[in-house]
Amino acid sequence: MPRIFWKGLKSFEPWNYLKEPKVGGAYLISLGKMVTYPEIFELLRKEKYTDKIQELGSGFLEDVATYLQEKKALLEREREEHPDFFNETIEQTKKQLENAKSMLRELFTVREKKIIELALIASKTGISRTDAKSLLVSEKDLFETLFQKLKDNEGKLLGVMEGIKKLEDDNLLVKFTADVPKFVDLAGGDIGPFKEKDVANLPKKIAETLIRNKIVEVMEL
């Protein structure tokens, strides 16, 4: 049910409202659905102590904006009415507004941490990607960006590992059993010199020749 606020004509504010006919010297203004301070507290509590990302609803950000706007306007109105002295109500409103902003920041930080973990799991398995349906629109964009970046990075790492495997297939890791002066490889490049007990990763054909001549021995990985 929409919340109803009575405001005098003097303190009228151009909010997102539905203005009803003037009643008894005041305007009846309905702000529609709006989150409350206890609801923000409860949302944060649930988000912190549950593993899954809770669904906030598609209009949550708009509801939060309405709440903060109303609280800020209320604070400004109270300051205008009592500009010259300390007022406990003003301090309570100010503190509640600050606390609400702090809780909302923490709420979204907790959710961001879950989104990072969700994107990581989804990039490896794909099974958790369906959980993204609980995210806000901006959070879905973050999730998809992280998911794609992680998949791209995984592809690059696999490419590197495949390159290492190919290098391992084409080479042998050997340990020299004697000093060997510099020599020329099959492509005309220089190899060495090596001292006894030196370890080197050599092209397989060269390594096999050195093994047959008992100059090196294969290192077991």
- Which of the residue ranges 19-33, 66-80, 198-212 would you say has the lowest mean pLDDT? 19-33
Query: Which residue shows structure tokens 């005041």?
Result: 26
The Cα 19–Cα 16 span in angstroms is 10
Domain made up of 165-218: CATH architecture: 3-Layer(aba) Sandwich (3.40)
Pick from 25, 5, 21, 20: nearest CA to 77 = 5
Q: Which residues pair with 218 in a beta bridge?
A: 174
Task: Report if pTM > 0.85.
Answer: no
Pick from 40, 28, 89: nearest CA to 64 = 40
| pLDDT one-digit tens code per residue, 34-80 | 688 899 999 999 999 988 899 888 888 889 988 888 888 888 887 77
- Which of the residue ranges 11-15, 90-94, 159-163, 197-201 would you say has the lowest mean pLDDT? 11-15
CA distance readout (Å), 208 to 171, 216, 217? 10, 9, 9
